[in-house]
Structure 1
Amino acid sequence: MAGCEIDRLPEELLAAVISLTSPPDACRAAAVSRTFRPAADSDAVWSRFLSRDLPQFAEGELPGTPPSKKALFRRLSDQPALLPCKLVSMQLDRATGAKCYTLSARSLYIAWRDTPQYWEWIDLGIDEVKRFSEAAKLHGVWWLDIRGKINRMMLSENLTYAAYMVFKLADDGFNLLHSPFQDVSVSVAGSDSTQQVCLQSYMEVGDDGVPQKHILTSHIPADHRPEVPLTDDIVLPRERADGWMEVELGEFYNEEGFDDEMSVSLMETRTWKYGLIVWGIEIRVKK
C-alpha cells in the first residue's frame, strides 16, 4: 500500500526531497526504486547539488584564475556543466558527489599550437564529442609540450584525484618508436610527481582477465622498428567507451584548505613526431 501511495506523489515533490540529500543518496534512490528514478535523475536535483558552490568563470578565463561571472549549467547527473567560455566542463562524480573537470585542448598550453605548420585545430562535429567539438592535431614538432592547470579550491576536498589526457593517434601513426616514452608530471604545493607514459601503446584486459600490453601499428618497417620494452613502470593508455584513448598523467591528494594550483604536463623533446590528436585533460576522482 505504501508503494502505491509513493507512486501517486508528484515528481516535483520527490525531486525536492531528494535534492535535500546528497549525490550518493540520489544514486541509491534511482537504483532501488523505479518511482524515484525520474526525480533522482532530474535537472532540479543535480543542479541543486552543484549550485551551492558552483565555480564561476568570465568568458575567456581559464581554470586557476579568480572567478568573476556566474556560470551556466545543465543536467549534471550524467552530462557535464558547460561554462560560458566553452573551454572547461564540470560534472559530479555520481558515486561520491565530487566535482570533476575536463580542460579542453583550447584551455591548455600547447607549445606552437597557433602555428599552422605545426598544429591544426580540427572540427570533431557535434555528435562525436558532447562537451567540446574541436581538438588539436599535431602536424609535426620536435618540442612537444602540453600543460594544464586548475585551482585546487574548485575541487572537492580530502579526495585523491588523477589527471588523464584524452587523445587519439591519426591514421598515419605517431612517429615516436625511436624515442617511445613521454615524460609526465603533476605538481601540487611545490611537490612534483613524475613518471613516463607510452602514447603509441595501450593496455586491455584479455579474455582470460589478464591485462595485455600492445604496441600500435606503425608506418616504420618492421625490420627497422626498435623493440619497445614496456616495463611495469611505464604507464599505458586505455581505450574509452567513446572511442578515444586516455592515459593517466599522475595523481594527487586534494587536501582541505589549499587555494593554490595543481598543474600537469606531458613533454617529449628528443625526436620529431606527428599524428597526435589532443582533445583535453580530465581531472577526476581516482577510483
Structure 2
Amino acid sequence: MTGMLALTEGCIAAVIAFTTPRDACRLACVSTTFRSAADSDVVWNRFLRPEYLSKISDPGSVSSLPKKELYLRTCHNLIHNGKLCFWNDLQSGKKCYMISPNEPYIMGMDDVEYDTIAWSRYSLPDLEFYFDYIPFGRFPEVIMRDEPDAFEIRGKISTSLLSPMTTYVAYLVFFLYGDIDDEHVTSYIEYSPIEVFAGLAGSNNGQRRTVYFHREHQDRDDNGLFPKKWAGLLENEFSERCRWLESELGEFFNRGDKEGELLMNVKTTCKNGLIV
C-alpha cells in the first residue's frame, strides 16, 4: 500500500477510473488520498454516460454538481411520467429499469369485459389500513389481487432504453398476503403453477416456463421456481411476509443493433393473495 500512496492523486484517480462505480466507492474508504481520488470528476466522468443525464427530472438544476453526485442522482429516478424507475447498476454501470404496476396490461383491470373488482389500486399508505406492515416501494401505488380468478399481466419496454451487448434478467416484484402464522404467510397463489415469459417481440427465442411462488417446490423442479432474491430495500426485524419478493421471468440479451420491444408475461388461474 505504501507504493500506491506514493503515487499522485491524479495517477490514483486514473487507475480507479478503469474499475466500476462500486469499486470506486469501496476504494474511497482506504485513505483520505484515495477518497479524494475516488470521488474526483476524473473517475465519475468516465462512469457518467451522456444519456444518463436525460434520466434526471431537472438536468439543469444539477449541472454544477460534482460528477459523482450527478451519477448518484441518476439512481432510482421516476421517468416517463412515473411509469418507469431508472437506476444504474453499481457493479457494471449498466442501465436498469422497473416498470410501474400501473403501466402493464392487466387482464381483469384494463378490459371492460372482465370484472374490474378483481384488482384494486392502492397507495402504499392506504394499504397500511389492511396490513400491519408494507415495505417501502419505488412507486407510490400498487395493485392488489382481491378476488380468485384467472389473470394475466403483460409488460413491455423498448430495447432502445437498455444498455447494448448486455444480458438482462426480467423479474416480477411482488408481495404475498393471506393466512399468517408466526413464521410464514400462506398466500392462495403460492401453490399455483404460474406461466411466465420473457423475450423479444416477434422472436422465437423467448423463454417460457412454469414457476411457483413457494419454496417447497424448489426441490421438486429445476425450473427456477421460488423467488431466489429478496427485493426489499429495507432491512428490519420482520419475517418474510414483510418483504417484497422477486421471481425470475427469463433472460434477454440485448445486442443493441436494432430497436424492438422486450415482452414480459405472467399468467395463472383462479388465485388471489398477490400485490404487485
Asked whether the two chains share a fold, i.e. TM above 0.5, the reply is yes
Alignment of 1:42-57 (within 5 A): 49-50=47-48, 52-54=50-52
Among residues 77, 83, 87, which one is paired with 1:87 in the alignment? 83
Q: Is the 8 A contact 1:31 1:37 kept in 2?
A: no
Q: Secondary structure at the match of 1:29?
A: helix
State the partner residue of 1:175: 188
Which ranges of structure 2 fall in alignment gaps of 5 or more residues?
Answer: 60-69, 127-133, 180-185, 233-242
Distance 1:118 1:256, change over 3 A: same
State the partner residue of 1:225: none
State the partner residue of 2:257: 257
Q: Distance in 2 between matches of 1:132 and 1:40?
A: 32
Alignment of 1:125-274 (within 5 A): 125=125, 128-172=135-179, 173-176=186-189, 180-188=192-200, 189-191=202-204, 192-199=206-213, 201-202=214-215, 214=216, 230-233=220-223, 235-240=225-230, 242=232, 243-269=243-269, 272-274=270-272
- 35-44 or 248-257, which deviates more: 35-44
Q: Distance in 2 between matches of 1:245 and 1:104?
A: 16
Among residues 95, 102, 124, which one is paired with 2:98 in the alignment? 102
- 165-174 or 85-94, which deviates more: 165-174
Q: Is the 8 A contact 1:46 1:76 kept in 2?
A: no
Q: Which has the higher helix share?
A: 2
Q: Is the 8 A contact 1:72 1:84 kept in 2?
A: no
- 183-192 or 248-257, which deviates more: 183-192
Which ranges of structure 1 fall in alignment gaps of 5 or more residues?
Answer: 58-69, 203-213, 216-227, 279-287
Q: Distance in 2 between matches of 1:135 and 1:44?
A: 40
Compute the TM-score of the two structures, normalised by the length of structure 1. Answer: 0.65
- 139-148 or 162-171, which deviates more: 139-148
How much does 1:71 deviate? 4.4
Q: Is the 8 A contact 1:47 1:76 kept in 2?
A: no
Among residues 24, 27, 35, which one is paired with 1:29 in the alignment? 24
Q: Secondary structure at the match of 2:26?
A: helix
The yes-or-no answer on 1:76 pairing with 2:78 is: no
Compute the TM-score of the two structures, normalised by the length of structure 2. Answer: 0.68
Q: Secondary structure at the match of 2:149?
A: coil
Amino acid at match of 1:198: Y
Q: Is the 8 A contact 1:30 1:38 kept in 2?
A: no
What is the root-mean-square deviation in Å for CA atoms of aligned residues? Answer: 3.8
State the partner residue of 1:122: 122
Higher RCO (CA-CA < 8 Å; seq separation 6+)? 1
Distance 1:29 1:76, change over 3 A: closer
How much does 1:56 deviate? 5.9
Distance 1:56 1:118, change over 3 A: farther
State the partner residue of 2:63: none
- 39-48 or 145-154, which deviates more: 39-48
How much does 1:84 deviate? 5.6
- The number of equivalent residue pairs is 230
